[in-house]
Structure 1
Amino acid sequence: MSDEPPRAAGRTARTAAPALLATALLVTGCGGGHKGASAGASPAGGMEKLPEATTYTTLDDLPRDEAPSAKSDGTVVHPDDTVPVSAKPGAPAVAELPSTQLKGPTWVPVLESRPGWRRVLLPSRPNGVTGWIPDSGLKSARSSSTVKVDLGDRRLTLSRDGRQVGAWSVAVGAPKTPTPTGRTFLLASLAPEKPTFSPLVLPVGAHSATLDTFGGGPGTVAFHGWPTKSVFGKAVTHGCVRVPADALKQLAEVPLGTPVQITD
């Protein structure tokens, strides 16, 4: 097991395809929405193709996270290649987890381990969907960071090795478009070539509970900056978490796959 997975603002984010960077904000719930494919959908020709576990898909045949408030030990894994995803260890695969997400490496947190298998949190809908993947062909690491968002206090806290390193007042989802609660993780890092309101967008593995589609992407929740400081401390977003510049800079150093805990 290596010490840490790649950091959010590492080489992958800076070298992502220009087309992706130009539409980075369309991926998120702040400007994104795309009706994802559902598990079990059959393509033309009648042969069923397993859906990919990405932020664009809905996986209804897999179990949900039954302990969304539980703490993770920081173990994260990255598949070297696409791996099958099952509802139980040894059960038939109902999805596939690709080795990349949004032009970057896929790192997902481990919730449970059994001989030969890892239960991981997935980036698809519904929020909190999990699956079992074979332990072979995985790179394993540990993130020492933890990100917490308290929606009631509208406050973000970043800790490393159990020690708080920063806390900021943030803007969260409005009452009609709330930020979803529960356990999720840092999914990717996107740097728009022509940023309109944030130099960096950090999607997480959760989606808006009220917006199925918005502006052309899957409604993925994300951390991002905002040019107007007056929004911080308010519930005004489409579900994303708007953060001050210093918080965004700190979050950019957080490794992919790092657990994110969002509470009421």
Structure 2
Amino acid sequence: MASHSTVRPAPPHDAEEGRPRRGRAALVGWAAAGVAAVLALVLGAGLLTGGGTPAPAPASSPSAGTAATVDVASLPESTTFTTIDGAPADPSPRAATDGRVVHPVTDTVVHDAPGGTPIARMPATQIGDTWLPVVGEQSGWVQVLLPSRPSSSTGWLPAADLETAVSPYVIDVHLGSMTLELLRNGQRVDRWTVGIGKASAPTPTGRTFLLGAFSDAKQKYSPVILPLGTHSPTHDTFGGGPGTVAIHTWPTDDVFGTATSDGCIRVPADALTTLTSVPLGTLVRIDEA
């Protein structure tokens, strides 16, 4: 089993004030040795992360807005390793958001609609702390993108169970031009030529998000791997993992500007350094432009 260590990304920033938000809601950092130990058990080497079985969560009292007690531990986890049946599709896969990201303070019930049917539980930590982009809102509820299959699926979480922060960043990946842009408050920070998925294993389009960051001493192609909350449409598994699409670099420059990966986005070393400082939960939009 590969030995992994976590990488600590920057905390979310207030999009208007441009400074770190204070308190627990701003913490997009990683749990320390305990999370590293869990990662050593649950993440496999290779292009895509995978392996292991998460520890079960304790039963919980009803989440805000639920009509009856829900045994949280009986619900399937929503992680990069799982498939959640009944999860609604992203209603606006090309839309921007207001930058809000949320972190469940404990294992939280995921519903298919505000006050609707429980379909999963969202763990507070998975690849580090769980931070998810907000794509919709109703009174007392927020709709978020999920890290599980199907790709581009969503769920509704009770707002009372969440901490909220703001990421001023958006990562835009353009498959047609094979470029990646990093935006901050709507302004371009930088732009790079990247490698994308080949025709037989394309990079999926739609909205997703920066799910985590980790390093793996057993591989040499990238010092840091940034898994996203989306999956390959052709690989159910890859390299021992669940087919998670990731951003990472590559040892040679000849892959940039080519469609030769198995779905991951290969970026130059300076791009990876910059992207590692982007907060977890940050929106990633992948299109055909």
Q: TM-score range by the shorter chain?
A: 0.7 to 0.9
Residues 164, 21 of structure 1: CA spacing in aligned structure 2 closer, same or farther, 3 A cutoff? farther
Asked whether the 8 Å contact 2:49–2:243 carries over to 1, the reply is yes
Given that 2:88 and 2:112 are in contact with CA atoms closer than 8 Å, whether structure 1 keeps it comes out as: yes
In the other structure, the counterpart of 1:108 is 132
| Preserved contact between residue 13 and residue 190 of structure 1 (Cα < 8 Å) | no
- Distance between the aligned counterparts of 1:261 and 1:50, measured in 2? 29
Q: 2:192 aligns with which of 162, 165, 168?
A: 168
| Residue identity opposite 1:245 in structure 2 | A
Which whole-Å CA distance do the structure 2 matches of 1:13 and 1:202 have between them? 18
State whether residues 21 and 190 of structure 1, in contact with CA within 8 Å, keep that contact through their aligned partners in structure 2.
no
Q: Aligned partners of 2:229, 2:215: CA distance in 1, in Å? A: 18
CA drift at 1:193: 3.0
Match of 2:172 among 121, 145, 148: 148
Is the 1:35–1:212 Cα contact (8 Å) retained in structure 2? no
Does the CA contact (< 8 Å) of 1:110 and 1:121 recur in 2? yes
Give the TM-score taking structure 2 as reference length: 0.79
**C-alpha displacement at 1:137, in angstroms?**
2.4
Q: Kindly, what percent of the aligned residue pairs are identical?
A: 48
1:95 positional shift: 0.6
Q: Secondary structure at the match of 1:147?
A: strand
Shift of 1:195: 3.9
In the TM superposition, residue 150 of structure 1 has moved relative to its aligned partner by 0.3
Alignment of 1:81-96 (within 5 A): 81-96=106-121
Query: How far apart in 2 are the matches of 1:87 and 1:162?
Result: 31
Please tell me the residue identity of whatever aligns with 1:154.
M
Which SS does the other structure have where 2:188 is aligned?
A: strand
Task: Spell out structure 1 runs of 4+ moving beyond 4 A.
Answer: 4-7, 10-16, 21-25, 31-36
CA 236–73 in structure 1, closer or farther in 2 if over 3 Å, else same: same
Instruction: Quote the Cα distance in structure 2 between the aligned partners of 1:198 and 1:173.
Output: 17
Q: How does 1:43-192 map to 2 (within 5 A)?
A: 49-102=74-127, 104-192=128-216
The aligned residue for residue 257 of structure 1 is 281
Residue in 2 that maps onto 1:232? 256
Task: State the secondary structure of the residue aligned to 1:191.
Answer: strand
Q: Given residue 78 of structure 1, which amino acid in structure 2 is its aligned partner?
A: H
Kept after mapping to 2: 8 A contact 1:185/1:260 = yes
> 2:36 maps to what in 1?
17
The DSSP-based 3-state class of the residue aligned with 1:57 is coil
* Number of residue pairs matched by the alignment: 249
**Using CA pairs below 8 Å that are at least 6 residues apart, which structure has the higher relative contact order?**
1
Corresponding residue number in structure 2 for 1:248: 272
**Alpha-carbon distance in structure 2 between the residues aligned to 1:59 and 1:23:** 19
When residues 220 and 229 of structure 1 are mapped into structure 2, their CA distance, relative to the original with a 3 A threshold, is: same
Q: Which runs of 5+ in 2 are unaligned?
A: 1-11, 15-20, 54-72
Matched residue type, 1:111: V
Structure 1 residue runs without a partner (length 5+): 37-47
| SS of residue paired to 1:250 | helix
TM-score when scaled to structure 1? 0.87
Measured against aligned partners, the alpha-carbon deviations of 1:28-60 in whole angstroms (never above 9, x if no partner) come to 7x2456799xxxxxxxxxxx9311010011112
